[in-house]
Amino acid sequence: MKYVPIKYHRRCYTDFYVGKESDEIRETRPEDDPRTTLVTRKNQKDLSGEEKNLFMSVIDELVQSGQYNIHVNHHPVMSHRMHGLMSGFIGYERFLYWHRVFLLKLEGMMRAIDQRVFIPYWNWVDDREFPEWLKDFTPTGLTDLDGDMLPVTRNPGANGITLPTRLRVDEILSLPDWSSFVRQLEDGPHNRVHRWVGGRMNDIFYSPADPVFWLHHAEVDRIWHIWQLAHSGLGTTITGADAVLDPWAESTTELEVIATLGYSYQEETL
Ligand SMILES: [Cu+2]
C-alpha cells in the first residue's frame, strides 16, 4: 500500500519550541576514541574546492541516473512514520533513526560512484549563512510521486525566523532523557532550519530534493551522536515492526553506534 500525499495540502515545518533559553551552557567532552572508520563527514565550511565539486558532481550524477529522484521520493511516503510532526509518538521515536538510514543509503550510492565523497554537515549554530558554495546548486529534472516537476527553490532567512542558537542546542543536548531530547530536537532546531532555508526545504514531503537537506540532516545526526556520547545506552525502546525502518530492512538497534555503521564526524562537540 502506497501513501500518496495530496499535492495541494502540503504541510510546512513548524517550530514548537521557540521559547526560553537558559544561561547554562553544558560542555560535552567525549574522550578520544581510537576506533577506525571508513568515512569522516566533515564540516562543510572546511571542505576544499575539490571536495565541494566532488559532492556536487556526484549528486548530479545520481540526479541524471534517476537514483536521486527515487531516493527523494521515499520521503513523502508518510506511512514510513518518520516525523513526530506527522505521526506523533512513533514518528518522534523513529525520526533520528530513519533519517540516519536515509543519509547512509544516499552516501552509499554516492560512494559507489566515488570512494572519496561523503555527506558534509552544516553547523548552523556557528555558520549562520546559507552555505555559499551551494547557492547555485539547485538540481533540475526532479519529479514528485505524481510525475510533476519539483523545482528546488530557497528563500534563506526570509521567513521572519532566525537559525537555532547555540544556547538552545546546548540546552537540548543537556536533556537527560531520550524522549525529551528527540522531541525538542525535531520540533525545534530541526524544523526551524527547514523553515529558515524556505522554498523546497520547507516542504515536509519533498525537502530532500534540495541538496542542502543532507547537510542539515548530517548536522542533526551529529547532534544526536554528541548526545549519545554523553548519554550512553539511551535511545528508543520501540520494538517489532515499529523498529524496522521501512522501506529499508535496518532496525533501530543496529543504528545506535555510528562507528559500527562505518562513519564518523570530524568534530564531536557542538
Ligand atoms: Cu524528514
Taking alpha carbons only, the member of 217, 236, 218 closest to residue 228 is 236
Share of the chain above pLDDT 70, in %: 87
Question: If pLDDT is split at 50, 70 and 90, which confidence band does 33 have?
Answer: very low
CA of 190 to the centre of ligand 1 (A): 9
Residue 5 predicted with pLDDT over 80: no
DSSP 40: E
CA of 238 to the centre of ligand 1 (A): 19
Question: If pLDDT is split at 50, 70 and 90, which confidence band does 14 have?
Answer: low
pLDDT 10s digits, 193-240: 999 999 999 999 999 999 999 999 999 999 999 999 999 999 999 999
Share of the chain above pLDDT 90, in %: 85
- Structure-model confidence comparison of residues 206 and 2, the more confident one: 206
Strands (E), the chain: 39-41, 263-265
pTM higher than 0.75: yes
Taking alpha carbons only, the member of 95, 168, 90 closest to residue 125 is 168
pLDDT of residue 27: 35
pLDDT 10s digits, 71-88: 999 999 999 999 999 999
Dist. CA 74–CA 163, nearest whole Å: 27
pLDDT of residue 94: 98
pLDDT of residue 22: 37
CA of 267 to the centre of ligand 1 (A): 23
pLDDT 10s digits, 115-160: 999 999 999 999 999 999 999 999 999 999 999 999 999 999 998 9
Grid cell in block for residue 172: 537540548
**Residues near 232 by Cβ (< 8 Å), separated by ≥ 6?**
none
Residue 196 backbone phi and psi in degrees, to 5: -60, -45
pLDDT 10s digits, 256-269: 999 999 999 999 99
| Across 36-50, 67-81, 101-115, 243-257, least confident range | 36-50
pLDDT of residue 11: 59
CA of 88 to the centre of ligand 1 (A): 14
CA of 23 to the centre of ligand 1 (A): 30
CA distances from 204 to 9, 39, 110 (A): 11, 28, 23
CATH superfamily of 34-265: Di-copper center containing domain from catechol oxidase (1.10.1280.10)
CA of 79 to the centre of ligand 1 (A): 12
Residue 1 predicted with pLDDT over 80: no
Question: If pLDDT is split at 50, 70 and 90, which confidence band does 3 have?
Answer: very low
Dist. CA 145–CA 129, nearest whole Å: 31
pLDDT, mean over the chain: 90
Q: Count the neighbouring beta carbons within 10 Å of the beta carbon of residue 74.
A: 17
pLDDT of residue 153: 98
State mean pLDDT over 17-46: 54
CA of 114 to the centre of ligand 1 (A): 25
CA of 270 to the centre of ligand 1 (A): 22
* In the chain, where the domains are located: 34-265
